[in-house]
Amino acid sequence: MPDEHDLTRRDLLVAAAFVPLAALTSPAQTGPLALTSGQMKTLEAFIDRLIPTDELGPGAVEARAQVYIDRVLAGPNANEKAQFLEGLEAVNAYAQRTQGAPLADLPAEKRDLVLKAIDEDTAQGLPQGRQFFNRARRLTLEGMFGDPYYGGNGAFAGWDLIRYPGPRPAVDAEMQRMDAAPAPYHHSAWGTQYK
């Protein structure tokens, strides 16, 4: 059938994207959109080890990558929500089974053991573990290094980490020299309210 309402998928996505954004401005008043609060704790415990806060600066949780992930699973990536959450729960069960506690209750070193086993595909009883790991890593990168409009990259921590100088409206030849280090341009492409 042709378009039923003359609405492109883009219109729908842009319209949808504005709803959770309003919610984000007051995060204390609202819970996660796609995850339960327990799942959110597990996710944070996981991505905190993927990109930890350390002497180089904020990690994934501090940069709110989990907010990005929760929001895309509630919206544009809803079709992978069930599979993603199943994977997350399986990781948590694996942590309980092998380390004696849910992932969120484990110290960093023990969480690292869990992640390492999954990444290296040696985790017993976790056949989809590697697939979940790769997907979680990919979404964490999107959350940490994407435009803050989508909820992550808080205070532009991701862009500063890799020294990406920001989406300037126009760039001159000097800024493109190999030895140039343009000052960080901390702006979302969607407006100064996103940061």
Partner 1 sequence: MATTLKPVDVAVIGLGATGGVAVLPLARAGLKIAGIEAGTWMDPHRDFHADEIFNNIRREVTTSPKAQREIPTVRTGPGEKARPAAAHPMMNAIGGTSIHYWAQSWRLKAWDFKTRSETLQRYGAVAIPAGTTLEDWPLTYDELAPFYDIVEDEVGVSGVAGNIGGKLTGRGNPFESPRAKEYPMPPLRGSGFTDHMAETARKLGWKPFAPPAAINSQPRKGRSSCVYHGYCGSGGCHVSAKGSTAVTTILEAQNTKNLTIFDKAHVTRIETDGNGRVTGVRYLRNREEFFQPAKVVLLAGYTYENSRLLLLSKSKPYPKGLSNNHGQVGRHYFGHWNSFVTALFPHDINTWYGLPAQGATCDEWADDSFDHSGMGFIGGCSLHVYTERHPIEGAAMNTFGRAPGWGSAWKKFIHDNAGRQSNTYIQTNTFPYETMYLDLDDEITDPLGDPVCRINTGGMRENERRSTQYAHTKMEQWFQAAGAIQVVKTPPFVPGVSTHAYGGTRMGDNADTNVVNRWGFSHEAPNLGVLGASVMGTSGARNPTLTAQALAWRTADYLVKNWKSVSS
x-or-dash string of contact with partner 1, 130-169, rule CB under 8 A: -------xx--xx-xxxx-xx-------xx-xxxxx-xxx
Residue 129 binds partner 1 (CB under 8 A)? no
Residue 177 binds partner 1 (CB under 8 A)? yes
> Which of 68, 79, 60 shows the shortest CA–CA distance to 27?
68
Q: Residue holding tokens 């100064």? A: 192
For residue 90, the minimal CB distance to partner 1 (Å) is: 19
Query: Distance between CA 125 and CA 154 in Å, rounded?
Result: 36
Give percent helix, percent strand, percent coil of the chain, each to the nearest 5.
60, 0, 40
Q: Which residues pair with 54 in a beta bridge?
A: 57
**CB nearer to partner 1: pick between 52 and 102:** 52
CB 143 within 8 A of CB 65: yes
**CB nearer to partner 1: pick between 3 and 29:** 3
Neighbours of 132 (CB within 10 A): 21
Residue 101 binds partner 1 (CB under 8 A)? no
- CA dihedral of residues 192, 17, 53, 164 (deg, nearest 10): -50
For residue 92, the minimal CB distance to partner 1 (Å) is: 18
Q: Which of residues 37-76 bind partner 1 (CB under 8 A)?
A: 49-52, 54, 56, 59, 76
**CB nearer to partner 1: pick between 125 and 167:** 167
**CB nearer to partner 1: pick between 2 and 37:** 2
**CB nearer to partner 1: pick between 70 and 147:** 147
**Would you tell me which residues interact with partner 1 (CB under 8 A)?**
1-4, 6, 8-10, 13-14, 49-52, 54, 56, 59, 76, 112, 115, 119, 137-138, 141-142, 144-147, 149-150, 158-159, 161-165, 167-173, 175-181, 189-190
